[in-house]
Amino acid sequence: MKKYLFLVLTTLLAVPAVAQSLLTREQLAKREKRKNLTVKEWNTDDKTKTRWLDRIKVYDSQGRCVEEIEYATYGQKWRVTSTYDDVTGKVVEEVEYNDRNRPVRIRKYEWNEDGTKAKQYNYLPNGKLFSVKVFEYIFSEK
């Protein structure tokens, strides 16, 4: 029983380390700086000096962008939320919302073992599959 418990605990502790090892040192440094960060971008009209919110990006406790909102002078233009895989740290789902904060598109992703995108599934808000995008990587020997 102790051996089994030890194996389970070491496996659970190793999973974040494996996911982190897939990232470069620069990517890890950027994520470290963005932990629990919210960035607001503001625009200012040169003539009237009127200021309005242009964009918001929200990062989670691991420094990954979980929400991005684009604004116009009248309010929200669109919003995208992202969900990540706990093991690989890659995006597994993105939901795009319209100016009325209603879902308009859902994207789900599959990844290759080398960290490149394999497939992107595009769904309608009702959950019906709309299209599938397959990624092909071709390296030339020039």
State the CATH number of the domain containing residue 82: 2.40.128
- Name the residue among 3, 78, 66 with its Cα closest to residue 35: 66
In this model, does residue 32 exceed pLDDT 90?
no
Domain membership of residue 63 as a residue range? 2-134
88 in a structural domain: yes
28 in a structural domain: yes
Q: What is the DSSP string of 28-88?
A: HHHHHHTTT-EEEEEEE-TTT--EEEEEEEEE-TTS-EEEEEEEETTEEEEEEEEEE-TTT
22 in a structural domain: yes
What pTM was computed for the model? 0.74
Q: How confident is the model at residue 111 (pLDDT cuts 50, 70, 90)?
A: very high
What average pLDDT does this structure show over 6-18?
A: 41
Question: Is residue 105 a contact partner of residue 97, using CB atoms and an 8 Å limit?
Answer: no
Query: What 8-state DSSP symbol labels residue 91?
Result: E
Phi and psi at residue 138, to the nearest 5°: -120, 120
7 versus 57: which is more confidently predicted?
57
What average pLDDT does this structure show over 96-125?
A: 96
**Model confidence pLDDT, tens digit, residues 49-80:** 888 899 999 999 999 999 999 998 789 999 99
Max distance between CA atoms of the chain, in angstroms, equals 73
140 in a structural domain: no
Q: How confident is the model at residue 24 (pLDDT cuts 50, 70, 90)?
A: confident
Structure tokens, 68: 């991005």
Amino acid at 81: T
pLDDT, averaged across the chain: 85
Domain count along the chain? 1
